[in-house]
Amino acid sequence: MKPIKQEKKVTLFNKENYVWMLIGGALILTGMLLMIGGKSEDPNVFNADEVYSFRRITLAPIFIIAGLVVEIYAIMKKSK
């Protein structure tokens, strides 16, 4: 009977890459959550201050772009 050779599985990402991916996903999700809302009580009234608020126009896209940058970093980071 021949001995069975066990091959070590080579993975593309390690634990650190997955942690960075989760951080990036959390940033993207936070940005999406910051964008929700803005519905008016009366459909005939348009509240520009609510729709075009700092949170929705500036802060949320910054979170989403930061999350995408972190995701790219997580994918490109080489395993040790």
- Determine, yes or no, domain membership for 7: no
Give pTM, 2 decimals. Answer: 0.81
- Determine, yes or no, domain membership for 9: no
CB-based contacts of 53, cutoff 8 Å, min separation 6: 38
SS3 36: coil
DSSP calls for 4-22: PPPPPPPPS--HHHHHHHH
- Determine, yes or no, domain membership for 53: yes
State pLDDT tens for residues 19-28: 999 999 999 9
Q: Could you list the beta-strand ranges (E) of 7-71.
A: none
- Determine, yes or no, domain membership for 5: no
Domain with 19 in it: 15-76
> Angle at the Cα of 23 (from 22 to 29), degrees rounded to 5?
85
State pLDDT tens for residues 48-60: 888 889 999 999 9
Number of domains in the chain: 1
